[in-house]
Structure 1
Amino acid sequence: MFMKALLCHEFGSTQNLLIGEIEKPLPKPNQMLIKVKACGINFPDALIIQNKYQFKPELPFAPGGEISGTVEVVGSEVTHVKVGDQVFAQIGWGGLAEYALADSHKCYRISKSVDPVTAATTMYTSATAYYALNQRGQLKPGETLLVLGAAGGIGSAAIQLGKLMGANVIAAASTDEKLAQSKANGADETINYTTEDLKERCKALTNGKGVDVILDPVGDKYAEPSVRALAWGGRYLVVGFTGGAPSKIPMNLPLLKGASIVGVFWSAFAQKQPTENAQNFAQLIKWVENGQLKQPIHKSYTLAQGKQAIQDLVERKVIGKNVVLID
């Protein structure tokens, strides 16, 4: 039996992605087959089609690493979900298709009261942001959190999670439009880092103390001024480099501030520390089902428009998350 998918036949730009038909996959004993309802679009989707991501699927493949849908078939070793359950899953790739496989430990049941778009767009970025703030940043109530790239998927999740964890949140982004969205998303203060001095503005907003935790998925030229804005004992969380280049930070800065530069690699954490990852997801699911955690949606696309959904992310047109509706 065949299914429709948005396929990458050769590595390169989004223009290489074409709608086609491939064989409907069959689950292994530790997998389940999901009828996909929605697929969230994330920065790794743009990297994986260029062969620039740490995982390299065989060609042809469908991008899309975050999905929601209904379980259609379960493998013989799967016990925590059953046929007919609504689930969300992190799958690496394969989500821009009518059906997708998910490994048992990366698929979670969620209440049918949660709409498929929320289920498909909230957990990937929230899992990364919560691991960053909880395990790596050890964010405490009353501390000040600076979020760079605040209008993006991870940034938007970090703002909401920072508030849920009791922090004072400063959102930093490149346009006033993005900052308005960040403010609506719950940020206490905002900084336009293309028109304002990031370090000086952080100092002013904290009465000269500096910020306790920085979550940075952007890197590039914003890394050094961010570290300079840290308070004594602060934690700078390296999440990614959507700014285009790895960060260059003078090592005397963490020394003088007694600060920590901490790497955040959520997918490795999920693999190496599955119990802690499951605990994180249990908390995130509660917040989602209670309506306390929900990703702002920039735009919805059809499967045929899926490559445009990724291209818009590459061109930094997205405030929040893009989502592809498969039905």
Structure 2
Amino acid sequence: MSEVRMQAVLGHRLESLDDYALDSLPLPEPGPGQVRLKVHSAGLGFADGLLCTGRYQLKPALPFVPGCEFAGVVDALGPGVNGVEPGQRYAATAMGGGCAEFVVVPVSSLVPLPDGLDFARAAAFWVDYTTAFHALRDRARLQSGERVLVLGAAGGLGLAAVQIARLLGAQVIGAASTSDKREAARAAGAQQCLDSSAADWSEQLKILTGGVGVDVIFDPVGGEGFEAAFRRLAWGGRHLALGFAGGGIPALPTNLALLKGAALLGVDIRQFALREPEKAAASREQLARWVDDGTLQPAAGVVYALNDFQSALASTFNRQRIGKTILTVLQE
């Protein structure tokens, strides 16, 4: 009997996106406590580009199949799996594997899809929206009526933060570098926007807040603007550090925190899910309820076909991209 195989995006080095190609791999078999998903869509963001090129904080094993979040249909069950049936719709996360026709994951990683969420949006939803929810509610303890500045407001994570902040009752200022991005942030719910590429953006922010500053900064960008943003915190403000898409890892004069009674708070969704799994599950359940009742409508991403995976991978580093990248593995 001939071996059953599948198509997958595969890289044998962690150096360049050009090292990845469509390849044929044996169909994976689920082991104890695992399920096999037939992948419909995979979500790709900035961190995926870093993983593919060996610049992420963790180095995946080689050969590497990209795609850390994905959505599809249960195809097969491993021994000892209960409560899951073939044909059911789920999303899942893993350290790669989603850019393939099939992927094997622990049953514990599965997230049921709300009825109002198609595979494409589901593949780009859970990580960004759970991260934004955890950051704003749990880490910043955002209160209704507070003012939030979202940096990188037109990226996948930024759009999620704009929507979640509004749902939590905040006033939202979106910072983005182009008019198209600012329009996307407004469409997601930002009441005010500023041009983050302008030399005087910090002064723009001062004017928008009447000189008071913002209560919370949601910052997946880092880079050169980090200190300037922190200086615009109001008394008792909280600066959420979620990543460094802007390039370098910034340093901060600690006297600024003292003078403002302010806090710098790190947000690591991977460790949150590992260390506080019940709380992470409750967050996903709340997000699912919002999707089901129409309170939350996840932002659409930029969609690519599987045979255009190179463009999809390249888009993770494209600073003009609005929303998240979605790779369609199997047409619905």
Both structures adopt the same fold (TM-score exceeding 0.5): yes
Q: Of residues 163, 170, 189 in structure 2, which corresponds to 1:167?
A: 170
Mapping of 1:44-59 within 5 angstroms?
Answer: 44-59=47-62
> Runs in 1 of length 4+ with deviation above 6 angstroms?
none
Alpha-carbon distance in structure 1 between the residues aligned to 2:263 and 2:221? 18
Matching of residue 129 in structure 1 with residue 132 in structure 2:
yes
- Where 2:98 maps in the other structure, the secondary structure is coil
**Matching residue of 2:213:** 210
Matching of residue 23 in structure 1 with residue 26 in structure 2:
yes
Tell me by how many angstroms 1:111 deviates.
Answer: 3.3
After alignment, is 144-153 or 200-209 more displaced?
Answer: 200-209
Alpha-carbon distance in structure 2 between the residues aligned to 1:287 and 1:201? 33
Alpha-carbon distance in structure 2 between the residues aligned to 1:75 and 1:118? 27
Matching of residue 10 in structure 1 with residue 30 in structure 2:
no
**Matching residue of 2:294:** 291
Q: 1:130 to 1:113 in 2, by over 3 A?
A: closer
The amino acid across from 1:85 in the alignment is: Q
Q: 1:238 to 1:80 in 2, by over 3 A?
A: farther
**Matching residue of 1:68:** 71
Alpha-carbon distance in structure 2 between the residues aligned to 1:104 and 1:95? 15
Structure 2 length normalisation: TM-score? 0.95
Structure 1 length normalisation: TM-score? 0.96
Tell me by how many angstroms 1:76 deviates.
Answer: 3.2
Q: 1:291 to 1:40 in 2, by over 3 A?
A: farther
| Superimposed CA distance per residue, residues 128-179 of structure 1 (whole angstroms, 9 cap, x where no aligned partner) | 1111111111111110110000000110100000011110000001112110
- Where 1:83 maps in the other structure, the secondary structure is coil
The amino acid across from 2:156 in the alignment is: G
| Superimposed CA distance per residue, residues 161-200 of structure 1 (whole angstroms, 9 cap, x where no aligned partner) | 0011110000001112110111111101001011253332
- Where 2:22 maps in the other structure, the secondary structure is strand
Tell me by how many angstroms 1:121 deviates.
Answer: 1.1
Alpha-carbon distance in structure 2 between the residues aligned to 1:188 and 1:80? 43
Counterpart contact for 2:116–2:291, Cα < 8 Å = no
Mapping of 1:217-236 within 5 angstroms?
Answer: 217-236=220-239
Tell me by how many angstroms 1:315 deviates.
Answer: 2.4
Counterpart contact for 1:150–1:182, Cα < 8 Å = yes
Mapping of 1:266-305 within 5 angstroms?
Answer: 266-305=269-308
Q: 1:28 to 1:54 in 2, by over 3 A?
A: farther
**Matching residue of 1:86:** 89
Alpha-carbon distance in structure 1 between the residues aligned to 2:204 and 2:82? 52
Alpha-carbon distance in structure 1 between the residues aligned to 2:301 and 2:72? 20
Counterpart contact for 1:4–1:19, Cα < 8 Å = yes
Equivalenced residues, count: 327
Counterpart contact for 2:114–2:291, Cα < 8 Å = no
Counterpart contact for 1:220–1:248, Cα < 8 Å = no
| Superimposed CA distance per residue, residues 176-228 of structure 1 (whole angstroms, 9 cap, x where no aligned partner) | 21101111111010010112533322222222221001010000111011100
Q: 1:80 to 1:152 in 2, by over 3 A?
A: farther
- Where 1:314 maps in the other structure, the secondary structure is coil
Alpha-carbon distance in structure 2 between the residues aligned to 1:307 and 1:295? 25
- Where 2:161 maps in the other structure, the secondary structure is helix
Tell me by how many angstroms 1:289 deviates.
Answer: 2.5
Percent identity of equivalent pairs? 39
Alpha-carbon distance in structure 1 between the residues aligned to 2:294 and 2:19? 38
Alpha-carbon distance in structure 2 between the residues aligned to 1:174 and 1:26? 46
Alpha-carbon distance in structure 1 between the residues aligned to 2:266 and 2:302? 31
Q: Of residues 253, 257, 264 in structure 2, which corresponds to 1:254?
A: 257
